[in-house]
Amino acid sequence: MSIKVKEINVKSILTKTNVPIGDYAVNPYVGCAHGCKYCYASFMKRFTNHKEPWGEFVDVKYWEPIKNPKKYKDKILMFGTVTDPYQPFESKYKRTKTLLEELKDSGIKLTISTRSDLILRDLDLIKTFKEARVSFSINTLDEDFKKDMDKGASIERRLNAMKELYKNRIYTSCFISPIFPGITDVEKIINKAKKFCNFVWLENLNLRGDYKSRILKYIEKKYPKLMPLYDEIYNKGDRTYWEVLNASLKKYAKDEKMLYVRDDDSKWADFGKPPVIVNYFYHEEVRQSAKK
pLDDT score at 286: 38
Q: Is the pLDDT of residue 289 over 60?
A: no
CATH code (residue 124): 3.20.20
Range with lowest mean pLDDT among 15-19, 41-45, 113-117, 121-125: 41-45
Mean pLDDT of 120-136: 96
Q: Is the pLDDT of residue 50 over 90?
A: no
Q: How far apart are CA 270 and CA 199, in angstroms?
A: 10
* Interval 197-217: pLDDT, tens: 999 999 999 998 778 999 999
Strands 260-262 and 276-279: parallel
- What is the pLDDT of the chain when averaged over all its residues? 91
- The pTM of this model reads 0.91
Residues in the chain: 292
SS3 17: coil
> Whole domain around residue 39: which residue ranges?
4-291
CA distances in angstroms from 151 to 32, 55, 290, listed in the order given: 10, 9, 36
Q: What domain count does the chain have?
A: 1
Query: What order do you get walking across the sheet with 260-262 strand by strand?
Result: 14-16, 24-26, 76-79, 109-114, 133-137, 171-179, 199-204, 276-279, 260-262
Report, in angstroms and rounded to the nearest whole number, the Rg of the chain calculated over CA atoms: 19
Q: Is the pLDDT of residue 292 over 50?
A: no
Tell me if 55 sits within 8 A of 83, measured CB to CB: no
